[in-house]
Chains A and B, each alone.
Chain A
Amino acid sequence: MMTYVVPIVIGFFFAFALQKAGLGHYHKIVNQFRFKDNTVMKFMMTGISVGLVGIYTLKDLGFLQMDQVSSTYIVGNLLGGLIFGVGMALAGT
């Protein structure tokens, strides 16, 4: 039961944060690329900062193991990112 409930609760708060940041809107995403609205950057960087501090603190205190680190393939990550940006700018999602 918990295996199903916990991911749903996590997803709930994830999308709640996204919606409250206004990132469901086309203009929020596209205007980041036009540098007229820096919501996306502020939102992402705050999320990353809070998560970074939280995860590394809990790791050093021994509460969690960092075994989910995304693997780095320079060509794959960069090429994927380059194509991804095109889709993001077209769709505004």
Chain B
Amino acid sequence: MGFNKTMKEKVWSPWAAGVLLGLTAVGSYVLVGKTIGSSGGIENIDSILLKAFDSSWANLMYFKYQMPPVLSFQILLFVGMILGALTSSLWSKDFKFRMLPDQQWTQTFGPSKLKRWVMIFIGGVIIEFSAGIAGGCTSGLAISGTMQLSPAGLIFIVGLFISGIITTKLLYGGDY
């Protein structure tokens, strides 16, 4: 297995990809002194937008001090993430524009694009809102928190699996 051949694989073993994730997380801690996270950057962007439009929400403690309107580590992380995912998918020829998920979606929810877009939007709002409550998302709390043996990460994983399983069960009904 040459290097190029490995990179051209569309999907790696989750163990291999997980090792890369762990090394990246350690690298982030050593080099920048910060943990990887995705949801925080969106809140920094929110904060910047609120300030730009002179919204009164910009003066809330949360947006003033907790998520200040600055070009934060996590926003820079987004830039890298777009490049990383793009490189990975282009290299393995996995890159394409999709309006609907490839598998499974149409069998369960029908071919309506609107339905998918509404659901992913609502889901996204819920995800971002609850990440604010919990203090992180899958990467920022579940992965980064648990690997520092913080109970917060484990509690969060338990919570997201309980409601994730119930929601999927409700959506899929007899097909679950």
**A74 CA to B150 CA, complexed, in Å:** 11
B165 at the interface (CB under 8 A from A): yes
Closest B residue by C-beta to A23: B17
Interface residues of chain B: helix, strand, loop or mixed (majority):
helix
B63 at the interface (CB under 8 A from A): no
B19 at the interface (CB under 8 A from A): yes
Sorted nearest first, the 6 A-B pairs with minimum C-beta distance are A81-B159, A80-B134, A11-B80, A50-B22, A46-B18, A91-B123
A contact residues around B29 at 8 Å (CB) = 55, 58, 64, 68
How far is the CB of B75 from the nearest CB of chain A, in Å? 9
Q: What is the 8 Å Cβ interface bit string for chain A, positions 43-54, against chain B (1 contact, 0 not)?
A: 111111111111
Q: Report the interface size class on chain A.
A: 35 or more
B contact residues around A7 at 8 Å (CB) = 32, 73-74, 76-77, 80
Q: Report the interface size class on chain B.
A: 35 or more
> Of the candidates B30, B76, B127, B171, which one forms a contact with A8 in the assembled complex, judged by CB atoms under 8 Å apart?
B76
Which positions 65-87 of chain A face chain B at CB distance < 8 Å? 65-74, 76-87
User: In the complex, are the beta carbons of B134 and A79 less than 8 A apart?
Assistant: yes
B contact residues around A4 at 8 Å (CB) = 76
User: In the complex, are the beta carbons of B130 and A80 less than 8 A apart?
Assistant: yes
User: In the complex, are the beta carbons of B164 and A89 less than 8 A apart?
Assistant: yes
User: In the complex, are the beta carbons of A90 and B123 less than 8 A apart?
Assistant: yes
- Given contacts A43-B14, A72-B155, A86-B126, is CB(A48)–CB(B81) below 8 Å? no
B143 at the interface (CB under 8 A from A): yes
